Amino acid sequence: MSPRRISLFLIATTVLFSSSLQLKTTPFISNTASMHFSSLFVAAAAFVTALAAPAAEPVTGNGMSSLVERSTPAGTGTNNGYYYSFWLAQGGNVNYNNKGAGEYSVSWQNCNNFVAGKGWATGSARNINFKGSYSPQGNSYLSVYGWSTNPLVEYYILESYGTYNPGSGLTHMGTVTTDGSVYDIYKGVRTQQPSIQGTATFNQYWSIRKNKRSSGTVTTANHFNAWAKLGMKLGQHNYQIVATEGYQSSGSADITVS
């Protein structure tokens, strides 16, 4: 019981005791006064009982106690030395949680659209290690994901995906072989869509791995160089993460980045 509840409990107990004592020591009390003290006695007793009862735990929208599961709110920040980003379009149930070091977990059910993961606030041509579990049910991506500005570009180095290969809706530009697999390179244009600079029109660059995996090393320089040779140049790097994305689907992932 909190200190405030304890104080209220003591006050209510005092009132209850005083009421009881006054009833017992006033033999010639009128009926009206008797009713007054009786009502006071009952009210005080009810108040004491209410204060003694444990407070109910807050309950989340899915009926679970908030102490059982707390999802990291949508947004960006730093956690255990790693940058994280969690973008969410309302709809369905998405629970994203930062864990130790570069680890995160996310589960989703009948989501609209989300992108979540850990990495670095400023991207570069670094080698990125990742490992974990990835279990999509429907349309979903596991990728090295990032943005550049001047020009504004959204990029994916897609390591695994669910039921939909996004290359079917893009322009095939070529291939690059690296990190044990062939990747198909694609380019697309997004018109008046959400971006790190608000609603905008921008290019998308994709490398889509033929042999899906949920663990390994991504040599990003090999992709960036291959894109540049095809006229797909990046600008100034913004954030860069190993992201899980879901679109009108369900699933779960637990990924560690380094």
Q: Is 58 domain-assigned?
A: no
Q: Tell me, what CATH number does 113's domain have?
A: 2.60.120.180
For range 54-65, the mean pLDDT = 36
Whether 60 is in a domain gets the answer no
Which pair of tokens denotes residue 35? 């009713």
Average pLDDT over residues 52-71: 40
Quote the mean pLDDT of the chain. 82
Residues 31 and 151 placed together within one structural domain of the fold:
no
Tell me which of 57, 69, 159, 245 is the catalytic residue: 245
Residue 183 falls within a domain, yes or no?
Answer: yes
Q: Do 221 and 180 sit in the same domain of this protein?
A: yes
Residue 64 falls within a domain, yes or no?
no
Q: Between β-strands 200-209 and 93-98, what pairing exists: parallel, antiparallel or unpaired?
A: unpaired
pLDDT at 48 over 90: no
Q: With respect to residue 67, please indicate whether it lies within any of the assigned structural domains.
A: no
Q: Which of 17-21, 119-123, 208-212, 226-230 has the lowest mean pLDDT?
A: 17-21
- 27 shares its domain with 90: no
Question: Do 106 and 226 have their domain in common?
Answer: yes
pTM, to two decimals: 0.74
Tens of pLDDT, residue by residue over 139-196, are: 999 999 999 999 999 999 999 999 999 999 999 999 999 999 999 999 999 999 999 9
Q: In what order do the strands lie in the sheet with 103-109?
A: 93-98, 103-109, 250-257, 127-137, 216-219
Structurally, the chain folds into a number of domains equal to 2
Same domain, yes or no, for 24 and 83?
Answer: no
Same structural domain, 123 and 224 = yes
Catalytic residue among 57, 69, 103, 154: 154
Task: Answer whether residue 56 shows pLDDT above 50.
Answer: no
Q: What percent of the chain has pLDDT over 90?
A: 71
Domain residue limits at 243: 75-257
Shared domain for 120 and 242, answered yes or no, is yes
- Is residue 245 annotated as a catalytic residue, yes or no? yes
Looking at the structure, tell me whether residues 43 and 85 fall in a common domain. Answer: no
Is 170 domain-assigned? yes
Domain assignment present for residue 61? The answer is: no
Domain edge (last residue) among 17, 37, 52: 52
103: annotated active-site residue: no
Q: How confident is the model at residue 1, as a pLDDT? A: 54
Could you report the per-residue pLDDT of 62-95, keeping only the tens digit for each?
333 332 345 899 999 999 999 999 999 988 899 9
Same domain? 100 vs 48: no
Strand runs (DSSP E) across the chain, as ranges? 75-79, 82-89, 93-98, 103-109, 113-120, 127-137, 140-149, 153-161, 171-178, 181-193, 200-209, 216-219, 236-247, 250-257
Query: Residue 31 above 60 pLDDT?
Result: no
